[in-house]
Amino acid sequence: MSERESMPYDVVIVGAGPAGLSAAIRLKQLAADAGSEIAVCVLEKGSEVGAHILSGAVIDPRALDELLPEWRTMGCPLAETPVTENHHWVLSKTGKRALPEAALPPFMHNDGCYTGSLGNLCRWLAEQAEGLGVEIFPGFAAAEVLFNEDGSVKGVATGDMGIARDGTRKPDWQPGLELHARYTFFAEGVRGHLSKELMRLFDLRADCDPQVYGLGVKELWDIDPANHQPGRVIHTQGWPLSETPGSNGGGFIYHQANGQVALGYVTWLNYRNPFLSPFQEMQRWKTHPDIAELLKGGKRVSYGARAINDGGYQSVPKLVFPGGALIGCSAGFLNVPRIKGTHTAMKTGMMAAEAAFEAVGADRGGDELSAYPTAYQGSWVRDELYRVRNVVPLVKKYGDLFGSGLSGVNMWLEHWGLKLPYTMHHKPDHESLWGRNEVQRIDYPKPDGVLTFDRLSSVFISNTNHEEDQPVHLTLKDPDVPIAHNLPLYDEPAQRYCPAGVYEVVGEDDPKGTGDPKFVINAQNCVHCKTCDIKDPTQNINWVVPEGGGGPNYPNM
């Protein structure tokens, strides 16, 4: 008999991000309108709501307007900084060329958008949800999917607390908790480990392209007030990734409230050169004269990193399965050209909530919420993603310069209603690496500690913490692969693609020539970006949740 206690709900939601919280709020709104009750619970693996939330962020308020129309007068922190300027720079190493806003179709403009902390928005949404009666449990990581005898999803179980690294129970051991539901929503964000398992079990990716990703590395700076222009938004492309064949990405600079600038760099994870380091590319990007001048006299106050979904329309999986649904970035609804996914994530949570409320009202449970994918197919989310479906593939196929030009023409044609009769396809990111002997090694400059930094000092200001005596949550399917396969073939790229210094190869450079290289996993450094789970060339690394409450604690990110 299980030692775990169980709690019953109508709907359990895994993840207190924008999708999960929007779903919870919508469920309670519908119940209030109908004069009925619905029991809703939200699990959050971070120590508090918002602790693991990281985005640029410039947010389109379309879904928020639908969910809480009066949000601007309700104390929502997002209302503080509307976008006032929109710029797009094409960078060379020492200069830039500004792309006129008129060159972009209207749907690419940021009119009516806001810039601010997505973590703070989620904290505010959590307050609204709790005010409606939603139960939110931060610090509880959903570690296991539970199933009914008929194979439908029954709910989830949280991980045990107080398990030692060797698997034994420590004196403070507490068993996990089972949460049973008629329907369970998975809103884990990008590459959620339970969502990945559900996709495999229910073959949810059978009729879609593989998901592809970028890695966003972000810093928050207090800058000289003379350089700060609240609401100014800048996006960049070109240098420094333009120096490395087979790589793409771009930067963002958002002037937000309180004299702060959020800036970051996104590297698409289909890059070919195993010596490329997305973290180091972000540090190099800051040395561009125009960016360095902006940051002069400023101070870096926070750091984080997170993978983002880049697949778009053709990579959206089947959204439902018996007893549950994928919402938000667990499924992947980011509009890559707009660099926006909060509004689409929120809307998908709302659509799933509407389908579940109708089903619960009809005394259903454990079946497929077919009304949700039907609603998605008729929604503005689907229309928005379909319109830009060929942008990422065009850039990947034809390169940053020519591909961007073609994608611009494509977006104008779509804007004018001239829809192209084809959809280009994606290939998995982990298949893209070339061998170490087929590429040129990249030598990155040492950090100066003023403008550029190393990974360990960066992880320190992400407030990342894990209980050290717990099972390593970065698991290897075959422990021999890193040294026997990845090291000779790719110089073990995990040493470089991880933005937190989790992976090391030690002992290789023994001056006596007797080096016995070993693969070391510093799991306590992990910022939960999921890049290793995505980019490892043999898919040997499987990211699973650590003990609840572990990981980064992002302030104002």
Q: Is 306 a catalytic residue?
A: yes
Beta bridge partners of 475: 542
Residue 55 falls in the annotated catalytic set: yes
Q: How many CB atoms lie within 10 A of CB 59?
A: 24
CA angle, 193 as apex, 276 and 489 as ends, to 5°? 30
Which residue in 76, 113, 122, 498 is the catalytic one?
A: 498
Do 122 and 128 contact (CB within 8 A), yes or no? no
Distance CA 267, CA 507 (A): 30
Which one is catalytic: 22, 47, 55, 117? Answer: 55
Cα(158)–Cα(169) distance, integer angstroms: 16
Rounded-to-integer distance, Cα 333 and Cα 309, Å: 7
Assess whether 526 carries a catalytic annotation.
yes
The span from the CA of 430 to the CA of 436, in Å, is 15
| Catalytic residue list contains 423 | no
Phi-psi region of 513 (alpha: psi -120 to 50; beta: other; left: phi over 0): left
Closest CA to 305 of 213, 210, 202: 213
Place of tokens 């060159």: 103
CA distance 296 to 222: 10
Asked if 554 and 119 count as a contact pair (C-beta separation under 8 A), the reply is: yes
| 529 a catalytic residue | yes
Q: For residues 401 and 5, what is the distance between their CA atoms, to the nearest angstrom?
A: 57
Both tokens assigned to 207: 């009729």
Identify the DSSP state of 82: B
User: DSSP letter at 529?
Assistant: -
Whether 468 contacts 521, CB under 8 Å: no
Give the active site residue among 22, 47, 529, 531. Answer: 529
> Three-state secondary structure along 218-250?
EEEEECCHHHCCCCEEEEEEECCHHHCCCCCEE
The catalytic position among 244, 329, 526, 531 is 526
Active site residue 532: yes
User: Which structure tokens are listed for 519?
Assistant: 């693969």
Catalytic residue among 300, 306, 382, 436: 306
122 is catalytic: no
| Cβ-based burial of 246 (10 A; exposed 0-12, middle 13-18, buried ≥19) | middle
Of 115, 342, 464, 531, the active-site residue reads 342
Q: Which residues are catalytic?
A: 55, 306, 342, 498, 526, 529, 532
